[in-house]
Amino acid sequence: MSLIKKLKYSICATLLCSPVYSGEWVKARVLQVNPQYSNSTQIVEREVCNVTREPVRRTVTNNGGDVLTGMILGGIFGGTITESDKGARNGAIIGGLLAGNNNQTTVMGHRNVRRCWIEHHQQPANFISGYNISVRLHNGKVVDLYTEQHPGKFVEVYVDTIYRTN
């Protein structure tokens, strides 16, 4: 047998004995759908408010008459205690300063004050991560699959077919 004939026979034998692959997209009926759940933690923001009663304050400043009165009284006391004009002068200065710095803060009433802030909380969350489905193929075979979207009544499935000769 010549080399060319042997080569032809070996090529034919290889082709005849090798499997042939073929595939197609088929419509499969969905028989069962089981959602698959996953657990996670999500951060939830929540506004929290609080109402408190706070005093309303008013600062009353002394007028010039109070300063003048303080200077006069300070001068009299300073002059009487020291028995000198210098003492009277220093007493008048100190009396005026004391009377001028004598501001008073008074409570006029109360008011409701609302204060709000954002709090962050961790909250457990369950969500559907996908679906385990059972489908019936065109040849009647039932196959279990996984999909991330809800499948509906039918799904498109790619079916591989292997043809083999003995």
Has residue 35 got a pLDDT over 80?
yes
- Determine the average pLDDT of the residues in 32-45: 92
Higher pLDDT, 106 or 28: 28
Has residue 32 got a pLDDT over 80?
yes
**Confidence tier at 152 by pLDDT (50, 70, 90):** very high
Kindly report, residue by residue over 68-81, the tens digit of the pLDDT: 777 777 778 777 88
Interstrand relation of 142-147 and 104-136 (parallel, antiparallel or unpaired): antiparallel
Answer for the pair 160, 21: CB distance below 8 angstroms, yes or no.
Answer: yes
Has residue 46 got a pLDDT over 90?
yes
